[in-house]
Amino acid sequence: MRSRQRMFAAVMRLLLKCLRLGRRRRFRLVRQAEQLWHYGHLCLRSLLYNSFTNGDVVLDSLFEPVYWLVDHVTRWFGVVFVALVIGLTSSIVAIVYICLLPLILQTYTPAWICWHLAYGHWNLIMIVFHYYMAITTSPGHPPQAKNDLTGVSICRKCIAPKPARTHHCSICNRCVLKMDHHCPWLNNCVGHYNHRYFFSFCLFMTMGCIYCSISGWEMFRDAYAAIERMKLLEKERLQVATNQTYYQTPPPTFSFRQRAFHKSVVYLWVLCSSVALALGALTLWHAALITRGETSIERHINRKERQRLQKKGKVFRNPYSYGSWDNWKVFLGVDVPRHWLTRVLLPSPHLPHGTGLSWDLPPCVMEQRTPLLAI
Residues belonging to the active site: 183
Tell me 343's DSSP state.
I
| Residues 6 or more apart whose Cβ sits within 8 Å of residue 9 | none
Tell me 360's DSSP state.
P
Specify the 3-state DSSP secondary structure of 162: strand
H/E stretch holding 181 reads: strand 181-183
CA 319 – CA 8 distance, rounded (Å):
92
One DSSP character per residue, 37-80 reads: HHHHHHHHHHHHS-TT--HHHHHHHHTHHHHHHHHHHHHHHHHH
User: Are the CB atoms for 345 and 200 separated by under 8 Å?
Assistant: no
Q: What is the dihedral of CA 292, 135, 355, 304, to 10 degrees?
A: 40
CA 15 – CA 47 distance, rounded (Å):
48
Q: What is the length of the chain?
A: 375
In the chain, the amino acid numbered 193 is Y
| Helix 195-215 / helix 324-332 crossing angle, nearest 10 deg | 100
**Nearest CA-CA partner of 266 in 99, 19, 49:** 99
User: Are the CB atoms for 192 and 178 separated by under 8 Å?
Assistant: yes
User: Are the CB atoms for 252 and 233 separated by under 8 Å?
Assistant: yes
* Residue 164 φ/ψ region, left for φ over 0, alpha for ψ in the -120 to 50 degree band, beta for the rest: beta
CA 180 – CA 157 distance, rounded (Å):
18
